[in-house]
Amino acid sequence: MRHDVFISGFGGQGVLLAGNLLGYAAMGEGKNVSFFPSYGVEKRGGAAMCTVVIADGEVGSPVVGNPSVSVILNQTSFDKYASRVKPGGVCIVNTSLVEVGDFSRSDIELIPIPMNEIAMQLGDLRMVNMVAVGAYAAKTGAVSLQTLEGALRETLPERNHRFIPANVRAIEAGAQRSGSSFSK
């Protein structure tokens, strides 16, 4: 078993937290993980991206040129990275900020999810990353939703543990929108 995902957006969307959460969840399930974060020098608004590789066996390199799955949170990332998804792969797109336009690849599955709207309905725009993680986990089965919930305790600072129930609701909302029947 091997899963790789490329998550991209702008600073402030929680891209690196999403990748870190997936890594901790995978380790909690006894899997091997590689997490490769990358971000611009800007504090907010600059490019932010990460690659996470989850495997039963050894993980060679965290660098993935053509990911099996991309989670794209903003237009710039979509324009730059959507075409890199490998044939047979999946591209999960935040349609709140991304206009897919005439992008058309019949060799990948495009999953449009209005992540910002879902996060706002749940009460906090900052949970857009949790919506994305839930959609990814449900679509791929790379980690369970239950393990993600447990991994929140490891990735969030203790002062933010009071937000775990809200984050779990966001993960579950993303999972429901992924078009998958994967469950907790």
Contact between 138 and 126 under an 8 Å Cβ cutoff? The reply is no
Q: How confident is the model at residue 47 (pLDDT cuts 50, 70, 90)?
A: confident
CA angle 91, 13, 68 (to 5 degrees): 20
Measure the N-to-C terminal CA separation of the chain; round to a whole number of Å: 19
Q: How confident is the model at residue 70 (pLDDT cuts 50, 70, 90)?
A: very high
How many whole angstroms separate alpha carbon 89 and alpha carbon 39? Answer: 24
Contact between 124 and 164 under an 8 Å Cβ cutoff? The reply is no
Q: Which residues contact 116 (CB under 8 A, 6 or more apart)?
A: 94, 96, 97, 125, 128
- Per residue in 147-177, pLDDT (tens digit) is 999 999 999 999 999 999 999 999 999 999 8
User: Token digits for 34?
Assistant: 């590689």
- pTM exceeding the 0.85 threshold for the entire prediction: yes
- Per residue in 1-28, pLDDT (tens digit) is 899 999 999 988 999 999 999 999 999 9
Task: Calculate what percentage of the chain has a pLDDT beyond 90.
Answer: 81
Tokens 């044939």 belong to 87
Whether 183 has a pLDDT exceeding 50, the answer reads no
